[in-house]
Amino acid sequence: MEIGAYSFGDTQRGPDGSSRSTAEAIKNLFDAIVLADRVGLDYFGVGEHHTASMPASSPGALIAAAAAATTQIKLGSAASIIGTDDPVRVFQQFATADAISGGGRIEITAGRGSSVETFPLFGFDLNDYDELYAQKLDLLLTLNNSRAENVTWSGTVRPPIPNLAVVPRPVNGSLPIWIATGGSAPSSARAGRLGLPISYGIIGGQPHRFAPLANLYRQSAQQAGHTGNNIKVSVATFGLVAPTKQEAIDRLYPGWVNLNLEMGKLRGWPAPQRRDFLAQVDAPNAYYVGDPDDVAERIVDLHRHLGHMRHFLQGDHGGLPQEHLLESVTLLATEVKPRVARLLAAK
């Protein structure tokens, strides 16, 4: 089981609650990735977001920088909002990072995005949402599966590519391309039919309820004739690791409040309540916040239901102090990962 972390960037807050700079947030994220590599974490994901509090707008640029500063960790987007980007540029940026990394450590996760900021930002019409995603995923896969530098593609959402060079090619021929989904059944079936690995973002409820979806994904793949190493499941959840469970809860809570206040203002939610937070922090619920034993046991328990090969956590939002992110990343690599390996081996 691979253990990892992911982030959308987390703008720090001053003592009076005011936001610090978004540039600092990007540098902090870079530093966290470099540390994650040094302490032995398996994976770090950077999720494309375009808000002042979550400013990781350009996973390709950040991952290219991180590729140069790391040696073993796998790096990927989590996710790239391909519907409103140009898949040619996304592919080229990640293939460039792949070249810098030495090859084999760079992945793309294609997603629709859980919010719609990129539509007005890049001038797209929400009525075209499904068509943009479907065609641009097709283009991204066409580029990735191409054996040659020159590629031919045509569609309606982007000018055609008549036998043009799209370079560089990935070191190992192609990049792992994952499909991200929040858990709709048709998305699971589609990823299976495409024969692509699937990444579930589970942000609430009870994660083990995703078991039928993972089953649908695997059976859809099998029915379409896809087998082998590309048929695999990863899971992204909210979470934070600290020396004790109480510390983890106390560290994560203020940022959770900030995040929910901000989203609530936008979405008309009532003020977040501590009891709603606490209702999520224990098994079998969705927040993997705890000490290394607790988080490891819950990852292994979820593995019984989903059979996932990678579990990665996000705890940095609403201004989580950087040192708490760094400690969580370190504990994930040095304490959670060996426990998970031991528990899985004992099964």
Residue 200 φ then ψ, to 5°: -90, 125
Element holding 164 (H helix, E strand): strand 161-165
Give least dist CB 90 to other proteins, A: 22
Spatial contact of 59 and 48, defined as CB atoms under 8 Å apart = yes
Between CA 24 and CA 9 the distance in angstroms is 10
If the CB atoms of residues 30 and 129 are measured against other proteins, the closer one turns out to be 129
If the CB atoms of residues 271 and 345 are measured against other proteins, the closer one turns out to be 271
If the CB atoms of residues 18 and 127 are measured against other proteins, the closer one turns out to be 127
Give least dist CB 128 to other proteins, A: 11
Give least dist CB 297 to other proteins, A: 22
Q: How many CA atoms within 13 Å lie on the side-chain side of 220?
A: 21
Give least dist CB 318 to other proteins, A: 18
Give least dist CB 178 to other proteins, A: 20
Give least dist CB 332 to other proteins, A: 26
Between CA 117 and CA 123 the distance in angstroms is 10
Between CA 297 and CA 73 the distance in angstroms is 23
If the CB atoms of residues 123 and 270 are measured against other proteins, the closer one turns out to be 270
If the CB atoms of residues 271 and 346 are measured against other proteins, the closer one turns out to be 271
Q: Is 260 helix (H, G, I), strand (E, B) or coil?
A: helix
If the CB atoms of residues 66 and 202 are measured against other proteins, the closer one turns out to be 202
If the CB atoms of residues 151 and 179 are measured against other proteins, the closer one turns out to be 179
Spatial contact of 256 and 324, defined as CB atoms under 8 Å apart = no
Token pair of 190 as six digits = 């589609």
What is the DSSP pairing of strand 161-165 with strand 80-81? unpaired
Between CA 270 and CA 154 the distance in angstroms is 47
Token pair of 184 as six digits = 């709709």
Give least dist CB 267 to other proteins, A: 5
Q: Is 175 helix (H, G, I), strand (E, B) or coil?
A: coil
Spatial contact of 298 and 283, defined as CB atoms under 8 Å apart = yes
Binding positions for other proteins, rule: CB under 8 A: 114-116, 119, 126-127, 129, 182-186, 188-189, 204-206, 209, 212-213, 215-216, 219-220, 223, 266-270
